[in-house]
Amino acid sequence: MDNDKSQNLPAESHSVEIFTEDDKSKSAVFWAGGNRRHMVEKAYDGADGDVGEVMVNGRVVFADKTTLWCVLIIDESSSGELLGMGAFLPGNGFSWQGDKDFLEKLGKSKGEVWPYRYRYDAAINAPHDHHVGEDGWSTN
- List of the chain residues with pLDDT < 50: 1-12
Long-range contacts of 13-17 (CB under 8 A, 24+ apart): 13/92, 14/69, 14/88, 14/92, 16/71, 16/86, 16/88, 16/94
Q: What are the pLDDT digits (tens) for 75-104?
A: 999 888 999 999 999 888 999 999 999 999
What pLDDT was estimated at residue 49? 87
**Can you name the residues that pair with 68 across neighbouring β-strands?**
60
CA pair distance 114, 61, nearest whole angstrom:
9
Q: What are the pLDDT digits (tens) for 32-42?
A: 999 999 999 99
Instruction: State pTM to two decimals.
Output: 0.85
